[in-house]
Amino acid sequence: MTFPTGRLARLAPGAGTADRAGAAVPPGAWAATGQLPFAGFWGQPADAAVLLADGRVLLAGGEDGRRHPTADTAVYDPAAGTWSAVGSMWTPRRLHTVTPLADGRILAVGGIGHAPDGPAEGLATAEIHDPATGRWTPTGSLRQARFSHSATRLPDGRVLVAGGATARPGPSSHTLRSAELYDPVTGQWTQTKPMTDARFGHPAVPLADGRVLLVGGVLAVGRGHYGALGYCETYDPATGVWTPTGTLASARKGHQATLLADGGVLVTGGDMRGFRSDDWAFDPYSQWLTERFDPARGTWSADTDMPWGRSHHRAVLLRSGQVLVIGGTDDVSLAVGYQNALVYDPAARTWSTEFGTVEGRWAPAAIRLGDGRVLAVGGLTRSGPAAPVHGEDEVTATTEIYTPAEG
């Protein structure tokens, strides 16, 4: 195998890599917690776990090892360390979004409602979960069916749903530019202005000034063929206008974008599969390069490299202002979930050495709990050529908790 320049010096994840940027950030520890009532994974940048007002965690929908969508819903109690099944959604969903509303209810939107045995037709339906009753109720329908979109709660309580994909003849996917707004008071959807660039599978980050930043993503370019995007844009809810902003140095899909305590945004990992601009060498690997966005200037700048590239991971902001990166895999094989995590210190711009997790997982759900700990849920452990059963990926129902070093 031929590696790009500088790649040979990098150790495999979990092999005890040293911090190449400076002093290591002391890591905390992981511990197993309650088992999910169902195994699942969540393949979109925004996972399906949300924090409820009472401190519990709700997990809704997802897919199994055969890519079948599920309508299952479960709630995690951090005090007891246990999961409980609650009322199922009306519609099975994968590649959907789950968004907490200002009144404590949860909005599930779009997705795909069938197995991957035909065109990937998006869903136009949406439904709301009431934690007080544990029940889901259908709400207004989207103007455009979609999956792998983003959903962001705005300062005024409305929810912005942007981009995504849906089926087109071929069969292939059609990437969307359209965006819609959901009003939880009326239960109605209205169109807003279309995005500058069509995209799906993109992170959406609510900025401190009320705007929403969309970062990279995917563009369907043919049947079964997709390209990563470096283009970014912001949405201003006061005007309903989308504005192009700084472009990533490395186009990315399967990446994470994390709002930092200082208002900046950190982008980690992702798939690229393209030619590098510095030497025009073809790079099929997941990215170890990181970038930071300055909202005031609208520009991206290079930040400290991760010890190793990863895609389909999760990045969670800790109460200390540091960023915890969990699991992931590599785009070359998409075979094994990395059994490690690492911590980024935005002030020192340093990464910790990688430290082990209980389970290797990619495309898990992850969320910070009210007490500052981080819950990692489910995900793919072995897939494709590494899966023990042909045609079925290995999906886990295990969950684990990280206790940060700061307590």
pTM: 0.90
Q: What is the DSSP string of 305-342?
A: PPSS--BS-EEEE-TTS-EEEE--B-TTT--B---EEE
* CATH number, domain with residue 122: 2.120.10.80
As a whole-number percent, the residues of the chain with pLDDT over 70 amount to 89
Q: What is the pLDDT of residue 3?
A: 25
Domain boundary among 166, 198, 230: 198
120 or 343: whose pLDDT is higher? Answer: 343
Q: Can you tell me the mean pLDDT for 254-278? A: 84
Say yes or no: 56 and 9 in one domain: no
- Domain holding 375, by residue range, is 1-33+248-407
Q: What is the pLDDT of residue 344?
A: 97
Report if residue 43 sits inside a domain.
no
Q: Looking at the predicted structure, is the pLDDT value of residue 278 above 70?
A: no
298 or 331: whose pLDDT is higher? Answer: 298
Say yes or no: 170 and 61 in one domain: yes
Choose the most confident range, by mean pLDDT, from 20-24, 173-177, 221-225.
Answer: 173-177
Cα–Cα distances (Å) from 240 to 156, 192, 220, in that order, read 13, 6, 26
Q: What is the pLDDT of residue 126?
A: 98
DSSP 194: P
Report if residue 67 sits inside a domain.
yes
Report if residue 224 sits inside a domain.
no
Measure the CA–CA gap between 254 and 394, rounded to whole angstroms: 19
**Pseudo-torsion of CA 22, 28, 30, 34, nearest 10°?**
-140
Say yes or no: 148 and 105 in one domain: yes
Report if residue 206 sits inside a domain.
no
Measure the CA–CA gap between 360 and 312, rounded to whole angstroms: 12
Say yes or no: 318 and 392 in one domain: yes
Q: Can you tell me the mean pLDDT for 296-309? A: 94
Q: In degrees rounded to 5, what are phi and psi of residue 384?
A: 55, -125
Report if residue 213 sits inside a domain.
no
Measure the CA–CA gap between 131 and 103, rounded to whole angstroms: 11
